[in-house]
Amino acid sequence: MQEFEQYIGGDFSKASANFESLDPASGTAWALMPEAREADVNAAVEAAHAAFLAPEWADMTATARGKLLYRLADLVAENASELARLETRDTGKIIRETSAQIAYVAEYYRYYAGLADKIEGAHLPIDKPDMEVWLRREPVGVVAAIVPWNSQLFLAAVKLGPALAAGCTVVLKASEEGPAPLLAFARLVHEAGFPAGVVNVLTGFGPRCGAVLTSHPKVAHIAFTGGPDTARHIVRGSAENLASTSLELGGKSPFIVFEDADLESAANAQVSGIFAASGQSCVAGSRLVVAASVKEAFLAKLKAKAEAVIIGAPDNMATEVGPLCTAAQVACAEDIIARSLAAGAKLVTGGTRLEGAGHYFPPTILDCSAAPDAPCLTEEFFGPVLSAVSFESEAEALDIANDTAFGLASGVFTTSLTRAHRMIRGIRAGIVWVNTYRAVSPIAPFGGHGLSGHGREGGLAAALDYTRTKAVWLRTSDEPIPDPFVMR
């Protein structure tokens, strides 16, 4: 089996233990991964803290940091095909998706490379004539960046890019499910020439790795993408170090189709929103909210498209839906579907795992119009399962869309400009896509609220999250301070 190493303090090394990683397409072990435990985590944080204080990084100009990020971007672009192959092998995500996504990841590092020397402070028009006051933006310190297995190169870039641009150092924890591409990515960090300890990459399991990392006294900020349950553990652990947090936690995103929408275009967007990446996306449009007058026609279109999807080996460029990452996800999908059918949902297509090796599950559609409380409408689970409900009025559509504890993404399909603006204003979500879905850019921030978390990734807002302001007061008078017992 192929063996991977962790990256700490500028060196590649074996961890305290190892574990086998499974190929989702076959269910068999294919690689040996380093399992970081407390000693490894402590070493990584200490290396990041030392690097943060060392002149090689602390005294480096912002422009020079940007040049390192440009170099990293070039290396990601040059090695995108190999990184894509590893992500496909270790997570089951189809090669046509990983190839395109990782090639675009380089643009995130380029964006933050250009932003590095544009994170500015401010001069304050202070109300005291003998004072000059200005604000400096300075890096927060050591960042614990924790990413899940889905879209991991992308989700790492939206943390590493702004953190490094701001001058922080990072301990990047890859998911224990499919960590191969991030462990390989560490070699590109090394080749780019970042000072030792600025970026550290490891993987391991929650209690012995993640919990140690997020509660470490030298961690200043935690950037996490994952589920609400894990986020709660992280927030509790951060009580030990009072680290700030940015949490991107997924959702149950509404995909709203009005009667005047271009149904063919909306159907293609819905396929992208829920069946692409086998539904394993934090912004998956898993709740179809469709006008009653076009529901049957729209579901018929979706059923035909779902049943025409090419399911196969993830490393085949013709494949459109590959396996789910783990057997547990398949079991979860089956459980929620069974409970939803018992609650009154109607199966339109799919619904049963595919026979044979691997974690394959077909595109599935459930009509929940007669079961508005079905579990598939409220519980987040990663899988190619769409749950549909109908509405009669715009107000009802908005109520259904907002009837969730999550608030990450949403889609609105209509040809009415005024209606689109009303929905944009009314939907409680961090992202509203109008007549499109699942579009991203390094320029645009994304994030949510409620159980979808807080903070933003992407754009200038993300870089500012990795800084804190320092107020500098300079007295300009040559006269003695008049009364030392009075606050001025």
Residue 141 CA, distance from chain mean position:
21
Q: Which of 248, 320, 380, 457 is catalytic?
A: 248
State yes or no: is 191 an active-site residue: no
Measured between alpha carbons, how far is residue 107 from residues 84, 111, 148, 189 in Å?
16, 6, 21, 16
Measured between alpha carbons, how far is residue 391 from residues 155, 372, 467 in Å?
35, 11, 45
Q: Take residue 426 and report the two structure tokens written for it.
A: 């009314």
Of the candidates 287, 293, 296, the residue with the CA atom closest to the CA atom of residue 259: 293
Please answer whether residues 259 and 294 qualify as being in contact, where contact means their C-beta atoms are separated by less than 8 angstroms. yes
Q: At what angle do helices 180-192 and 152-166 cross, to 10 degrees?
A: 30
Of the candidates 256, 298, 248, the residue with the CA atom closest to the CA atom of residue 426: 256
First to last CA, the chain: 69
CA 377 to CA 58: how far, in whole Å?
49
Of the candidates 268, 272, 328, the residue with the CA atom closest to the CA atom of residue 304: 268
Which positions are annotated as active-site residues? 248
